[in-house]
């Protein structure tokens, strides 16, 4: 059988007015009262609970203290019966404290908040003073804790301020040292700048002197050239005179004047020797140009791969490749995987290479052209073991380089004017080699030519 609930104690004589708090219940006391009520809440039956608290009947004490705190405080204040039931549960839980309050004494070691909460529920004579005293004590303790916290924070701020001042002094000292170093460096730079300005001025003076000397040399050269031109004109005049004298001597010789002929011959030898000496002195080179070289006209040239494109063959006719390879010293460069993946992509790479190289060997033997086949080797884990067929050069691109880049380097390595034909379906490769002077053709054209045999 459940234990019988003790009879609620009469709080005071009905003739005496009940004691009433003259200020709100202190917050610390209020929390203790709500906690006691939340613990004792579960010992009441559903009918004994006030209507506003029945919705919290299934809550745990912790949840009741959290969610029903306001409702519990209001019920304890407004419902004396509910409060007396809570006081009865308190008497059962803390009989020593209840007896001490009834006797008007307070245990010295008891928590003031516990004493105030018990006094609020039990309502012994003078309970309002006990509650007020507990509130004052709690406020005083909270104020002391706050003062201690403020003191700790103030001490921490003082320590941080001292550290900040020390750091600021260190930063200031470093800044002053840096400033002094910058000042010294600035003075050094200014000295170097003044030295550099002096060097520049000396250099400018030397340049002006050299320019003056160059002008003087040019003037002297111009004078010498003018003198040489004058001497050349004089010699031309003298040569004309000699030629005239020679002609006269010839006429005189024809007339039998042998003495005059001898004199003229001697004069002619003298003039010719003077002309040869002048030619050696002026270092006149022998003339190599002819009047016909000055006539503007079109000279015949050699046929190039670009000329083949304008003939009566379509771009997909295999005969076009035969004509290109028939050019003197033609070089055929093949983008290997571009051709094999266009013609037979389902075969393994090794068989693709062997099939293409076999066809290129036959084409090289038929045309006599130089043939180079380029494969992309950038992603290979190991070198490919391959014996190139006769007449075909096989190259793999290095790590970090694509076959397209290797093809462009091969084209750039050829001398200008040599017929170079590049087989690739890549538009970027075709445009690049065309700008370098090579003739691009499609991969399908080579495949048709190899199929024809």
Under 8 Å CB-to-CB from 260, ≥6 apart: which residues? 249, 252, 253
362-417 pLDDT, tens digit each: 999 999 999 999 998 866 666 677 788 999 999 999 888 899 999 999 999 988 88
- SS3 call for 395: strand
Measured distance CA(149)–CA(293) in Å, rounded: 109
Tokens of residue 277, six digits: 């000496």
54-85 pLDDT, tens digit each: 777 778 878 877 777 787 777 777 778 777 77
Q: What are phi and psi of 311, to 5 degrees?
A: -85, 180
Whether the CB-CB separation of 125 and 138 falls below 8 Å is answered with no
CA angle, 85 then 86 then 88, to 5°: 65
What pTM was estimated for this model as a whole?
Answer: 0.36
Of the ranges 28-32, 290-294, 336-340, which is most confident?
336-340
Q: Is the dihedral of CA 207, 209, 211, 213 positive or negative?
A: negative
Whether the CB-CB separation of 333 and 363 falls below 8 Å is answered with no
Measured distance CA(80)–CA(88) in Å, rounded: 12
Which residue carries 């004509």 as its tokens?
Answer: 323
**Residue 60: its pLDDT value, please?**
81
DSSP letter string, 164-175:
HHHHHHHHHHHH
Tokens of residue 54, six digits: 């029945």
């Amino acid at each position: 059988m459940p234990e019988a609930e003790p009879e609620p104690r009469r709080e005071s004589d009905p003739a005496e007015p009940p004691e009433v708090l003259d200020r709100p219940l202190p917050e610390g006391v209020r929390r203790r009262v709500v906690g006691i009520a939340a613990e004792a809440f579960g010992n009441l039956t559903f009918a004994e609970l006030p209507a506003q608290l029945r919705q919290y009947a299934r809550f745990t004490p912790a949840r009741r203290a959290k969610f029903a705190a306001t409702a519990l405080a209001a019920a304890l204040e407004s419902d004396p019966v509910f409060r007396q039931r809570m006081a009865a549960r308190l008497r059962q839980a803390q009989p020593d404290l209840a007896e001490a309050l009834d006797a008007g004494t307070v245990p010295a070691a008891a928590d003031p908040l516990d004493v105030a909460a018990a006094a609020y529920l039990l309502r012994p004579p003078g309970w309002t003073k006990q509650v007020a005293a507990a509130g004052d004590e709690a406020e005083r303790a909270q104020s002391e804790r706050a003062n201690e916290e403020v003191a700790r924070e103030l001490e921490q701020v003082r320590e941080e301020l001292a550290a900040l001042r020390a750091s600021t002094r260190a930063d200031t000292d470093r800044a002053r040292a840096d400033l002094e170093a910058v000042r010294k460096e600035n003075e050094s730079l200014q000295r170097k700048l003044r030295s550099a300005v002096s060097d520049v001025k000396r250099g400018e003076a030397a340049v002006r002197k050299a320019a003056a000397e160059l002008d003087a040399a040019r003037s002297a050269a111009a004078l010498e050239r003018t003198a040489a031109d004058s001497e050349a004109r004089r010699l031309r005049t003298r040569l004309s005179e000699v030629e005239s004298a020679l002609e006269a001597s010839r006429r005189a010789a024809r007339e039998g004047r042998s003495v005059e002929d001898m004199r003229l011959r001697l004069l002619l030898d003298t003039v010719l020797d003077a002309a040869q000496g002048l030619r050696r002195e002026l270092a006149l080179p022998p003339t190599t140009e002819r009047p016909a070289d000055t006539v503007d006209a079109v000279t015949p040239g050699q046929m190039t791969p670009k000329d083949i494109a304008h003939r009566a063959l379509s771009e997909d006719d295999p005969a076009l490749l035969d004509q290109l390879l028939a050019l003197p010293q033609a070089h055929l460069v093949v983008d290997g995987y571009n051709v094999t993946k266009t013609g037979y992509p389902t075969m393994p790479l090794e068989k693709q290479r062997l099939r293409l190289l076999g066809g290129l060997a036959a084409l090289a033997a038929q045309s006599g052209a130089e043939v180079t086949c380029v494969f992309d080797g950038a992603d290979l884990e190991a070198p490919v073991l391959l014996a190139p067929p006769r007449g075909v050069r096989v190259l793999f691109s290095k790590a970090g380089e694509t076959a397209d880049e290797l093809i462009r380097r091969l084209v750039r390595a050829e001398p200008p004017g040599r017929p170079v034909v590049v087989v690739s379906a890549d538009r970027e490769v075709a445009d690049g080699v065309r700008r370098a002077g090579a003739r691009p053709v499609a991969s399908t054209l080579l495949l048709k030519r190899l199929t024809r045999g």
